[in-house]
A and B are shown apart, each in its own frame.
Chain A
Amino acid sequence: MAGQVLASVTVSLTKLPANGNVGSVSLPSVPIYQLGNPQLRIFRPNWFLTLVRPGKEQPPDTAQFRVPMEMTKYDVKNYLEKIYNVPVGVVRTRIQFGSNKKRNHLNQKVKKPDYKVAYVQLAQGQTFTFPDVFPEKDQTPAEGSMEEMQNKFMEDEKQRQKLDPRRGGVTEWFGL
Chain B
Amino acid sequence: MASRCKLPLLFPKSLFKNLRFVHTEAAVTQPSYPPVVASLTAKSKSARLRQIDEQIQKICASPVEEKLSLITRIQRQKFVVYPQTFARNADRWYQHFTKTAYIPGLPEKFSVDSGEGSSPSPADQTEITGIDGDAFAEIRALVTRVILQEHCHMNKKRKPYVYKHQEQQMGPFLKNLVAELTYSLAKYNPLLLSSSLDFSPQVNFYWRRGQRIIPKGHRKGRLEPFRFQIDDSPHSQIRITQQLPQFNPMEASYTADVPLVPLAPNLMPLFRRQYDNHIFTGAKLPDPACYGHTQFHLVPDRYHRDRMLKQQQSDQVEVFLRANALASLFSWTGAQAAYQGFWSHEDVCRPFVSQAVITDGHFFSFFCYQLNTVALSVETDANNPRKNLLWGSQSQQLFQTVQDGEVLGLNDGVIKLLVQFLMNRP
Q: Which residues of A contact B (CB under 8 A)?
A: 57-59, 61-62, 89-90, 92, 121, 123-124
Contact = CB atoms under 8 A, between A and B. Distances in A.
B267 interface: yes
Given A62-B267, A123-B313, 15 more contacts: A57-B263, A58-B263, A58-B267, A59-B267, A61-B88, A61-B89, A89-B88, A89-B313, A89-B316, A90-B88, A90-B313, A92-B269, A121-B88, A123-B315, A124-B315
B32 interface: no
A61 B269 CA distance: 13
A62 B261 CA distance: 14
A92 B86 CA distance: 12
Contacts of A121: 88
14 contacts: A57-B263, A58-B263, A58-B267, A59-B261, A59-B268, A62-B267, A89-B88, A89-B313, A90-B86, A90-B88, A121-B88, A123-B312, A123-B315, A124-B315
Nearest to B313: A89
Contacts of B315: 123-124
A104 B263 CA distance: 39
A59 B313 contact: no
A173 to B, nearest CB: 44
Interface string B161-180: 00000000000000000000
Interface in B235-285: 261, 263, 267-269
A61 B87 CA distance: 13
Nearest to A90: B88
Contacts of B268: 59
Nearest to A89: B88
Interface string B201-215: 000000000000000
Which size bracket describes the interface of B in this complex?
10 to 19
Interface string B59-95: 0000000000000000000000000001011000000
Contacts of B261: 59
Contacts of B267: 58-59, 62
A123 B88 CA distance: 9
Nearest to A57: B263
A90 B263 CA distance: 19
A94 to B, nearest CB: 11
B311 to A, nearest CB: 9
Contacts of A90: 86, 88, 313
A62 B263 CA distance: 12
A117 B267 CA distance: 15
Contacts of B313: 89-90, 123
B74 to A, nearest CB: 28
A146 to B, nearest CB: 47
A124 B316 CA distance: 10
Contacts of B312: 123
Nearest to A92: B269
B318 to A, nearest CB: 13
Contacts of A89: 88, 313, 316
Contacts of A58: 263, 267
Give 8 closest A-B pairs by Cβ, nearest first: A89-B88, A121-B88, A59-B267, A59-B263, A90-B88, A57-B263, A58-B267, A89-B313
A138 B88 CA distance: 41
A89 B319 CA distance: 14
A76 to B, nearest CB: 15
Nearest to B312: A123
Contacts of B269: 92
Contacts of A124: 315
Contacts of B86: 90
A169 B343 CA distance: 58
Nearest to A122: B88
A121 B312 CA distance: 13
B261 to A, nearest CB: 8
Q: Which of B263, B268, B313 gathers the greatest number of chain A CB atoms within 10 Å?
A: B263
Contacts of A59: 261, 263, 267-268
Contacts of B89: 61
